[in-house]
């Protein structure tokens, strides 16, 4: 069921503490942790504690938690001291866009120049 932890979801296992991660921030609704394959000097994932397969599904079902993710992305950027130099918040939705874990999450990227368009 949407919102419920999924036994085969990597990010649900991080939320539950069954899989370790380098956590940088936690709130009642979100967990932020360092990406294990960073694409920039700062690469932190911000995920909801509830399971939804992608950002669109999360926003439709629980818009307040979607907003929490964006707010936490800003806090991560401030904590990582990348606000002044600029940072990117990315939601990949679907395998064709590069989503590999089907639990909604935002990538916070910064600490180097980020070209546009990406990819």
Tokens of 88: 């990117």
Task: Map residue 76 onto helix, strand or coil.
Answer: helix
Q: What CATH number labels 8-108?
A: 3.30.428.10
Q: Is 105 a catalytic residue?
A: yes
pLDDT tens digit at each of 119 positions of the chain: 678 889 999 999 999 999 999 999 999 999 999 999 999 999 999 999 999 999 999 999 999 999 999 999 999 999 999 999 999 999 999 999 999 999 999 999 999 999 998 86
Tokens of 37: 């394959």
Cα–Cα dist 29/39, whole Å: 25
Contacts of 113 (CB under 8 A, 6+ apart): none
H/E run at residue 42: strand 42-48
According to the model, what pLDDT value does residue 76 have? 98
Q: Which of 51, 52, 105, 107 is catalytic?
A: 105
* Torsional sign, CA 110, 45, 106, 67: negative
Cα–Cα dist 53/80, whole Å: 27
Closest C-alpha among 21, 45, 30 to residue 109: 45
Question: Residue ranges per domain, the chain?
Answer: 8-108
């Amino acid at each position: 069921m949407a919102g419920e932890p999924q036994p085969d979801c990597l990010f649900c296992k991080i939320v539950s503490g069954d899989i370790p991660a380098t956590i940088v921030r936690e709130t009642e609704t979100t967990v932020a942790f360092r990406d294990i394959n960073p694409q920039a000097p700062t690469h932190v994932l911000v995920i909801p504690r509830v399971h939804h397969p992608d950002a669109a599904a999360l926003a439709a079902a629980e818009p307040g938690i979607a907003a929490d993710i964006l707010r936490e992305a800003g806090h991560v950027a401030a904590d990582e001291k990348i606000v002044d130099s600029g940072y990117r918040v990315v939601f990949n939705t679907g395998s064709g866009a590069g989503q590999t874990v089907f639990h909604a999450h935002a990538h916070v990227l910064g600490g180097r120049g980020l070209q546009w368009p990406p990819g």
